[in-house]
Each structure stands twice: as structure tokens, then as C-alpha cells.
Amino acid sequence: MGSRDLEIEAERKAKFMSLYDPLHERLVRFVQTTVWDREEAQDIVSETILSAFEHFDKVRHHEAFLYYLFTIAKRKINRRYAQQKRLSGMSEEIIDRTPDTSPDVHRQIQIKELRDAITKLPDKYREPLVLFEFSGLSIKEIAEITELSENGVKSRLLRARQQLSELLEGTLHERTT
């Protein structure tokens, strides 16, 4: 490889990282909130970065990079979920391996229950919820990623919140009283 090729490759890497850098935290939060298993989440993030890097030259407009990156992550997560469904007992393992960050035992239980409830949400509700609440994406950005109208995203978000409240209604109430 000539020095010119190395230069071009270095430029390419720098360009990718300049696009990726502002989205890093959003991407990782999206993955780690959707996939609760630490190792799985790390794998998905690294695979997403690699895939995005391979083909990012095809992204004509820089504004489309967010859509491009999150679409890859979504596909990787969906494929991993499909794989897990083929194996029995996976979901239990995932819940059990989630990190405990809160020192309060009751709080830990509540967080685990919330994670469990988010996992149980249908994909169409879970995705907008995680992107909005944890990745901090705007309604417009989510609409682009999910290929929905902005109103469609809002209504799914509303429904996701409602379902989550319903799923947690009994448990949260019992713990606090």
C-alpha cells in the first residue's frame, strides 16, 4: 500500500469519526437500553460501528448519517432478538445479568422490573420510547429512523408510556406502599 493510500484511508477514518463522534452516546444508550445484556450490547455497538464504517461513503448527505447509523443498530438488534428467540431461557439470563447500579435493593428491583417491562413492549412501541427517553432523539429524528410520520411517533410514544405504566402499575405501587 502506498503512502497516498494510507493518507486517503486516514482521511476516511477521520471523516467517519467526525460524523460518529456526536452520536456516540445516543447510539450506545439506544443499544444498552434495548439490549440489557452487557456483552450483547457491547457486541452490537462494535458491530454497528464496523458496518457503518464499511459503507459510510455511500451516505451522500451528512444529515442522513444519524438515520444510517441507527438503522444499522436496529437491524443488528432485531437479528440478535431473532436468534435469542430460537434459544429457550435466554430472556431470563438477560434479565439476571443486568448491572445493578443502585445501592437501594428496592430501587434495583424496580429498575429490573422496568427493564423487563420495556423488553416486553412490542418493537413498534419500544423503539420510539427508547430513542426518545434514553437516546434523547427528537420526534423528527425518530420519525426518520422509524419511517413514521411525526404524529405517528407521538402516538406510539404515548401508547408505549401507557403500556409501561400499566405493566408496572401493580409492582411499583406495591413496593412503595
Partner 1 sequence: MSELRDNMPENFEPVKGETGNKQLDSLFKEIAAEPLLFSKEEAFEIIGATTVADATSTSINRTVVVGGAILFSALTGWLYYQFSNSETTQDSAANNTVEIDASASNTTSDASSDKNASFSAAQEEISRNAENQNSRNDNATIENAASENSNNNVAVENHSAKTNESLTANKMISGASVATKVESNKRKTIHLTTTSNKKGTGKLTLAKAPEVKSGSMTLKKDNGASLLSKTKVTQRFYADGSATVAFEYNKEPAVITINPRGIEQLTINNKLIKSEEYSLYEEIASEAFRRAKIEPLSEPTHDAKVIGDIPGIMTRALVRRNLISADEKFDFVLTGANAFLNGKVLEEEQRLDLLQVYQNASGKPLPKEGRFSVKQ
Contacts with partner 1 by CB under 8 A lie at: 1-3, 5-6, 8-9, 13, 16-17, 20-21, 24-25, 28-29, 31-33, 38-39, 41-43, 45-47, 49-50, 53-54, 79, 83-84, 86-87, 90, 99, 101-102, 107, 110-111, 114-115, 132-134, 136, 139, 151-152, 154-159, 161, 164-165, 168, 172, 176
**Neighbour-count burial of 32, counting CB atoms closer than 10 A to its CB (0-12 exposed, 13-18 middle, 19+ buried):** buried
Min CB(123)–partner 1 separation in Å: 15
Min CB(57)–partner 1 separation in Å: 9
CA distance 122 to 141: 20
Q: Which three cell numbers stand for residue 113?
A: 422490573
Which of these, 130, 123, 120, 129, lies nearest to 160 by C-alpha position?
129
Min CB(168)–partner 1 separation in Å: 7
Going through the chain in order, the beta strands assigned E by DSSP cover none
Residue 57 CB neighbours (<10 A): 10
Judged by CB, which is closer to partner 1: 70, or 132? 132
